[in-house]
Structure 1
Amino acid sequence: MALNRTYLGRLFPATEPYEVTRAAVRAFADAIGDPHPVYHSPDAARAAGYPDLVAPPTFAALVAGNAYWPLLEDPAFGLGPEGTVHLAQRFLHARPIHAGDTLWAEVTPETMDTRAGRDRVVFRSLLRDARGGTVTTVLTTLLAPDPAPSG
C-alpha cells in the first residue's frame, strides 16, 4: 500500500501528554549506556544548574515516537510499523528535557516521497511543555519495507 498523501502537512496532536519521570530518564540513559551523573542523580543535575534529572538528548525520540505511532497503526495512512526502517533522526532542542516535565506532542507528516521504489516519510514532531513553550522538534525519517523482498 502506498502512502496516503492526503495526510501530508496535516497536524496530528497527541491525545495525552507524556510525563517525564526520573525512572524513565534513568532507564533511557541505561539503555543507551550513558552513565553521566546528570541523567542519574538529582543532586548532580541540580549542581549542574538543572531543576531535576536531565534526559539524554535522544530521549525526545521516545516522546516523538509515541506521537507518530498512531499514524503507523492507521491502515489508511499507508505505512505500517512492520518492516519499516528507521532511516534518520534529527533533534532541534530549544531546551533540555527534565524529569518532571509534562510534554505535549504534535506530529505532522512533513515530506512523503519514493526512493528506489520505497515510500519514505518525514515526521516533524513538535514537543511543548505544559506552558506551551517549545522544548524540542524531532524530525524522523522512516522508509517503507522493500515491496519485493528477495527470497
Structure 2
Amino acid sequence: MALNRACLDRVFAAPEPFLVTRAAVRAFAAAIGDPNPLYHDPVAARAAGHPDLLAPPTFAALVAGEAYWQLLTDPEFGLPPEGTVHLAQWFGFERALRAGDELAAEAVPEAMDRQAGRDRVVFRTTIDDARGGRVATVRTTLLGPAPGPG
C-alpha cells in the first residue's frame, strides 16, 4: 500500500497525556548509558536549579512516539510499522523535559516521497505541557519497508 497523500497535514494525537516519571527518566538514562546525576538524582537536579530530574534530550522521542504510533497504525496512512525504520530525527527544545511533566504530543506528516524504492515520510511532532506551553518539537523521517520480491 502506498502512502496516502490525503494524510499530509493531518494531526495524529497521542491518545492520552504522557506522564514523565522519575523511574522512566532513570531507566531511559541507564538504557543509553548516561550517568549524568541530573538524570538520576533529584537532589543534584534541584541543586542545579531544576524542579526535579531532567530527562535526557532524546527522551523526547518516547513522547513523540506516542503520537506517531497513531500515524503508523492508521490503516488509511499506508505506512505499516513492520519493517519501517528511522532514517533521521531532530530535536528542538523550548525547555528541558523533566520528571513530573504531563505532556501532550501531536504528529503531523509534512512531506512524503520515495527514496531507494521505499516510501519516506517526514513529520513534525509538537510536545506541549499541561498548561499548553510548547516544550519541544521533534522532526522524524521514517523509511517504509523494502518492497517484497517480484
Instruction: Indicate the TM-score class for this superposition, using the shorter chain for normalisation.
Output: over 0.9
Tell me, in whole angstroms, the C-alpha distance in 2 between the residues paired with 1:118 and 1:138.
22
Partner of 1:89, secondary structure, is: strand
RMSD value, Cα: 1.2
Q: Which letter does structure 2 place at the counterpart of 1:132?
A: G
After TM superposition, list the pairs within 5 Å mapping 1:2-151 onto structure 2.
Answer: 2-148=2-148
Q: Which letter does structure 2 place at the counterpart of 1:112?
A: M
Query: What is the total number of aligned residue pairs between the two structures?
Result: 150
My pick for the range that moved more, 130-139 or 141-150, is: 141-150
**Structure 2: segments with no counterpart, 5+ residues:** none
Q: Give the conservation status (yes or no) of the 8 Å contact 2:13–2:70.
A: no
Pair 55,12 (structure 1): closer, same or farther in 2 beyond 3 Å: same
Shift of 1:15: 2.1
My pick for the range that moved more, 68-77 or 26-35, is: 68-77
Q: Which letter does structure 2 place at the counterpart of 1:58?
A: T
Shift of 1:144: 0.7
Tell me, in whole angstroms, the C-alpha distance in 2 between the residues paired with 1:34 and 1:45.
15
Tell me, in whole angstroms, the C-alpha distance in 2 between the residues paired with 1:50 and 1:3.
43
Partner of 1:123, secondary structure, is: strand
Q: Give the conservation status (yes or no) of the 8 Å contact 2:8–2:108.
A: yes
Identity of aligned residues (%): 70
Tell me, in whole angstroms, the C-alpha distance in 2 between the residues paired with 1:116 and 1:87.
12
Deviations 1:16-65 (A, max 9, x none): 10000000000000010001000000000001111000000000000001
Tell me, in whole angstroms, the C-alpha distance in 2 between the residues paired with 1:131 and 1:104.
10
Tell me, in whole angstroms, the C-alpha distance in 2 between the residues paired with 1:70 and 1:15.
8
Question: What is the TM-score of this pair, normalised by structure 2?
Answer: 0.96
